């Protein structure tokens, strides 16, 4: 079952997105994701399979960024 989760992040530009992309691409749980660069909170929206929440936060940290769940 898929679900969508949102996070406040410090991903600020397309270069940051390019840095995070390979980390998210290696995850089976993450189906689709995007970052709203227009939002001051840089909202990351992730569509994933159940149980992938911790994986998203772990991958963001591995990429060198921070994410705070808004759920």
Domain architecture of the chain: domains with CATH = 2-69 (3.30.70.100)
Helix, strand or coil, per DSSP, at residue 22: helix
Under the banding of pLDDT at 50, 70 and 90, the label for residue 2 is confident
Note the pLDDT tens digit of each residue in 52-63: 678 899 999 999
pTM, to two decimals: 0.90
Q: What is the DSSP letter of 38?
A: T
Cα–Cα distance measured from residue 71 to residue 62, given in angstroms and rounded to the nearest whole number:
22
Q: How far apart are the first and last CA of the chain?
A: 17
Note the pLDDT tens digit of each residue in 22-51: 999 999 999 999 999 999 999 999 999 876
Q: What is the pLDDT of residue 51?
A: 67
Q: What is the pLDDT of residue 46?
A: 94
Cα–Cα distance measured from residue 17 to residue 3, given in angstroms and rounded to the nearest whole number:
21
């Amino acid at each position: 079952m898929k679900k969508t989760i949102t996070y406040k992040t410090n991903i600020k530009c397309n270069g940051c997105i390019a840095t995070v992309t390979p980390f998210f691409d290696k995850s089976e749980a993450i189906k689709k994701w995007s970052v709203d660069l227009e939002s001051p909170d840089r909202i990351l929206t992730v569509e994933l399979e159940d149980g992938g929440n911790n994986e998203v936060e772990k991958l963001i940290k591995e990429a060198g960024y921070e994410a705070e769940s808004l759920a």
